[in-house]
Amino acid sequence: MAGTSGTYSAISSFSRVEILHLIQERPRRTIAELAEATGLHANTVREHLDRLTEGGHIVRETEHRTTRGRPRVLYSAATGEAEASSPIARRKAREAAERGDIMRRVMPWTGSSVNEIGTDATHQLDAIVDHLSESGFDPLVDDKELTIDLTPCPHATAQAGHRATLCSVHLGIMQGVLTEARGPLLIDGMRSSCNPEECVVQLTTR
132-186, pLDDT tens digit by residue? Answer: 988 878 899 999 999 999 998 877 666 677 888 988 999 999 999 999 999 999 9
Interatomic CA distance for residues 52 and 49, integer angstroms: 5
HSE-CB for 200 with a 13 A CA cutoff: 12
82-106, pLDDT tens digit by residue? Answer: 889 999 999 999 999 999 999 999 9
Domains of the chain in start order, with CATH, are 6-205 (1.10.10.10)
